[in-house]
Amino acid sequence: MASVQSDSLTHGRAAVHDTQSPTASAELRSSRRRRTGHLKDVPASRELREKIRDCCRQLVTRLDRNRGFSKDELEAVARKALEYLELPEGYLGWAMVVLSSEFWREQVAAVPAERRLLLLPHCLKHAEGCPADYDQFGLECEKCGACSIADFRQQAEELGYKVLVAEGSPIVLKIIISGYVDAVVGVACLNVLEKSIDNVLLAGIPCMAVPLLSSDCRNTSVDEDWVRDMIHVEKQVSAEYAPTYLHLLRFAKQLFEPAELNRLVPQLRNKPKHAGSGAEFEMSGSSPENEDRLALHTDPIAVTETLAQEFLAKGGKYARPFITLAAYDAMVGAKGATSEGAERLAEVPDSVRRVALSIETFHKASLVHDDIEDDDDFRYGEPTLHRTYGLPTAVNVGDYMIGLGYRLVSRDASELGYEVANDILDRLADAHLRLSEGQGAELLWRDANNKQITPLDALKIYALKTAPAFEAALLCGIRCAGPVVDREVPLKKFAKHLGIAFQILNDLKDWQGDQDNKLSAGLDTLGGRPTVLWALALESLSEQNREELCRLLDSPVDAAAKIARVRQIYHNAGVFEKAHLLVDKYQERAERIADEIEPESLRRLLYYLVDSVLERPATVEMEIFNPTFPT
C-alpha cells in the first residue's frame, strides 16, 4: 500500500495529546460512553484486514511511544486511519485492536518469551469433538490437532511462553499483577478485547492481540499466520517505553504478602506454638477447624492480632493502597511508571508504605463491620468473619483494625514529619467519621418502617459512604510527597463524583451477583439497603406499584420470587437505564475535574482511576436490555 502521507493521520494523536486543551480532552473522554455494538464489524476479506493493519503499522511509527495510550486516544487515531482508508466506522473496534497491538509490538518484543503469556479463547476449539476438560486455569488441551489451539500452544511453549486457554481480562490482570509474566499476547473476540483494553491497556501492560473473525462463541476462527507472527515476535531492546502502572499494581499487592506485611506490621503478640503443647481455649461461634487453628496460640490475647492480620492479607484488589502509592509516585517524578519502576519503587520509604497499608486497614475494618450490619454470608468468596468466628469476635477484630490503621501512621510520625503525620491522621479520622455517618444513615433507613427515599438522599448517603476512602487514599499519597495546596478542593470533588459513580455501578452489579464477594444477586434489596435504584423506582412508579414494591420487602414469598418481581418492576420503571445515566453523569464530572489537574502524571492517574474503578462488565450492560438475564 502507498505510504501514509497525510499529517492528518497523526493529527488525532496530536490533538488528544494536547493536554493543555481541556476542551479537546474533555470531548474525547466523553466519547467512550455509548453502545458499541455497531463498531465491532470484522473486515470480511483478508485483503481489507491487511490494508488496515499496514496503515496502523505505518501510523505507529509516527507516534511517541514513550507516552501512554488512553482508550480515547486510541480511538481518535483509529478513526483517522479509517478516514484515510475511506472505510466505515463499523471497523473501529477492529482498527483499535490492530493499532494497539502495533503500538505495543516493540515493548512486547522487549520482554523475553518466558515472561510472556499467550491467552487463547476456548471457543477456537472444535466444539463437537474436543476431548479436553476444564480445570481451574481453563481448557486443558489434549493436542488432538482438530483445531489450531494445539499448534499455537506448542509453538508458544517451545519458546518458553506460559499458555492459558481461558476467557476474560480479569484473570490476565491477576496473573500479571502476581508477577508471573510481564506481557500478554492473545486471541479473543472484539467484545472481550473491548473490555481487555480497559483492564490491560490502560494499566500500561504490554499486550498484543489478534481478533477472532467472529464473536459467535463457538467454532470460531482467526487469521492463523497473524497469531504465529505475534507469538514469534522477535526479542529486541525497546528504546521506547510507555508509562505503566504494572509496577505500582504489583507493589501495592506485595505489601500484603506475608513477609512484607510482617515486616511492616510486626506482630507483637502472636507467638505460635506447636500443636499439642496445651493452653487451648474456646470461642463462642467458632467452628471446629477454627478452634484448631486458634488453639495454636498459647496466649488468647494474641488471637485478635492474628485474625486481623489474616483478614488484612485476604483477597481484594488493593485498589486503595494502589491509589495512595500511585499518587505519591505521581508527585515525586512518576519513576514507578517507568521501565525501572520495580527498582525505583524499592526506594519508597517504609513510612509511605505504612500509610498505604493504613488505608487498606481502615477499608478492611469497614468491611468486617459492614458484613455484620448487613448480615452478609460471604466476603471474598468465603464465609464472612462473623459467620466464621461469631459476631462479638468479628466486631472486635474490626475495632482492632481501626486502631491498627491509626497506629501505622502515628508511629511513623518522625519519619513522615510530624506535620505530615498530623495531616494524614486528620484526613483518616475525617474519612472514618463521614463513612460512619453514611453507614448510620443507611442503617436507620433500613430499620425504619417508612421506605420512602429520594434519589438525592440516596446519593448523599453514597457520597458519605464511598467517597471518603478514595479521597483519603489520594490525598494521603499526595501529602506524603508534599503539601496538597490548591489541589485539595478539586480532588475532594473528584473523589466524591468517582465514589458516587462507583457505588451506583456496584448497585447495578448487585443484580448480577458479585462473584468476588456476595455470590448472589439482589442481596441489597433483600437486605433493605436504601439504594439509588430503589429511590429511582419510587420516583417513577405509580402509587400502586410503589406500594407493591414496599410490601415486597416484608412479604413472606421466597427470596428468588421476590428478586424476580423487583427486577421486573425496576425494568418497567426504567431504573437500570436511569442508574447508568447517573453513572455517566458523575463519571463526566470526575473527568472534567481531572482535565484541569496538574502535574500530568497525577492527571493520568485520575483518568486511569475513572476508567478502571468505573469499568462496566458486559453483563451489567446486558442487564439494561435483557430483563430475564440470569441471576
Residues of the shown chain interacting with ligand SF4 in the complex, contacts defined by CB under 6 A: 125-126, 130-132, 141-147, 149-150
Give the CB-side neighbour count of residue 205, counting CA atoms within 13 A. 32
Whole-angstrom CA distances from 579 to 184, 292, 553, 571, 620 are 34, 47, 21, 11, 11
Burial level of 304, CB count in 10 A (0-12/13-18/19+)?
middle
Q: Between residues 79 and 126, which has the closer beta carbon with respect to ligand SF4? A: 126
Long-range contacts of 226-233 (CB under 8 A, 24+ apart): 227/148, 227/152, 227/187, 228/152, 228/155, 230/101, 230/185, 231/118, 231/152, 231/155, 231/156, 231/159, 231/161, 231/185, 232/155, 232/159, 233/105, 233/108, 233/109, 233/185, 233/208
Q: Between residues 130 and 222, which has the closer beta carbon with respect to ligand SF4? A: 130
The DSSP H or E segment spanning 162 is strand 162-165
Q: Between residues 130 and 183, which has the closer beta carbon with respect to ligand SF4? A: 130
Q: Between residues 123 and 431, which has the closer beta carbon with respect to ligand SF4? A: 123
Mapping DSSP onto H, E and C, the string for 166-234 reads CCCHHHHHHHHHHCCCCEEEEEECHHHHHHHHHHHHCCCCCEEEEECCCCCCCCCCCCHHHHHHHHCCC
- Minimum gap (Å) between residue 118 Cβ and ligand SF4: 14
Q: How far apart are CA 292 and CA 393, in angstroms?
A: 16
Q: How far apart are CA 571 and CA 532, in angstroms?
A: 14
Q: Between residues 42 and 150, which has the closer beta carbon with respect to ligand SF4? A: 150
Q: Between residues 121 and 477, which has the closer beta carbon with respect to ligand SF4? A: 121
Q: How far apart are CA 422 and CA 431, in angstroms?
A: 14
Nearest residue to 317 (alpha-carbon basis) of 199, 480, 184, 432: 199
Q: How far apart are CA 562 and CA 525, in angstroms?
A: 9
- Minimum gap (Å) between residue 131 Cβ and ligand SF4: 6
Q: Between residues 126 and 562, which has the closer beta carbon with respect to ligand SF4? A: 126
Q: How far apart are CA 56 and CA 393, in angstroms?
A: 59
Q: Between residues 126 and 589, which has the closer beta carbon with respect to ligand SF4? A: 126
- Minimum gap (Å) between residue 175 Cβ and ligand SF4: 20
Q: Between residues 154 and 542, which has the closer beta carbon with respect to ligand SF4? A: 154
Instruction: Write the single-letter amino acid at 538.
Output: L
Cα dihedral sign for 613, 615, 616, 617?
Answer: negative
- Minimum gap (Å) between residue 192 Cβ and ligand SF4: 18
Q: Between residues 132 and 566, which has the closer beta carbon with respect to ligand SF4? A: 132
10 Å Cβ neighbour count for 515?
Answer: 10
- Minimum gap (Å) between residue 126 Cβ and ligand SF4: 4
- Minimum gap (Å) between residue 407 Cβ and ligand SF4: 53
Q: How far apart are CA 339 and CA 241, in angstroms?
A: 6
The residue behind cell 485539595 is 488
Residue 603 corresponds to which cell in the numbers above? 492527571
Nearest residue to 401 (alpha-carbon basis) of 316, 490, 309: 309
Cα dihedral sign for 353, 359, 362, 364?
Answer: negative
- Minimum gap (Å) between residue 127 Cβ and ligand SF4: 8
- Minimum gap (Å) between residue 218 Cβ and ligand SF4: 12
DSSP-derived pairing of the beta strands 207-211 and 138-140: unpaired
Q: Between residues 127 and 552, which has the closer beta carbon with respect to ligand SF4? A: 127
- Minimum gap (Å) between residue 228 Cβ and ligand SF4: 16
DSSP-derived pairing of the beta strands 116-120 and 183-188: parallel
Nearest residue to 374 (alpha-carbon basis) of 455, 318, 447: 447
Q: Between residues 129 and 556, which has the closer beta carbon with respect to ligand SF4? A: 129
Q: Between residues 141 and 325, which has the closer beta carbon with respect to ligand SF4? A: 141
Q: Between residues 144 and 624, which has the closer beta carbon with respect to ligand SF4? A: 144
Q: Calculate ∠ Cα 370-371-374, nearest 5°.
A: 80
Q: How far apart are CA 116 and CA 208, in angstroms?
A: 11
- Minimum gap (Å) between residue 167 Cβ and ligand SF4: 14
- Minimum gap (Å) between residue 191 Cβ and ligand SF4: 21
- Minimum gap (Å) between residue 246 Cβ and ligand SF4: 30
- Minimum gap (Å) between residue 624 Cβ and ligand SF4: 34
- Minimum gap (Å) between residue 132 Cβ and ligand SF4: 4
Percentage helix, strand, coil for the chain under 3-state DSSP, each rounded to 5: 65, 5, 30
The DSSP H or E segment spanning 275 is none
- Minimum gap (Å) between residue 146 Cβ and ligand SF4: 4
Q: Between residues 48 and 127, which has the closer beta carbon with respect to ligand SF4? A: 127
Q: Between residues 134 and 180, which has the closer beta carbon with respect to ligand SF4? A: 134
Burial level of 218, CB count in 10 A (0-12/13-18/19+)?
exposed
Q: How far apart are CA 491 and CA 486, in angstroms?
A: 9
- Minimum gap (Å) between residue 213 Cβ and ligand SF4: 17
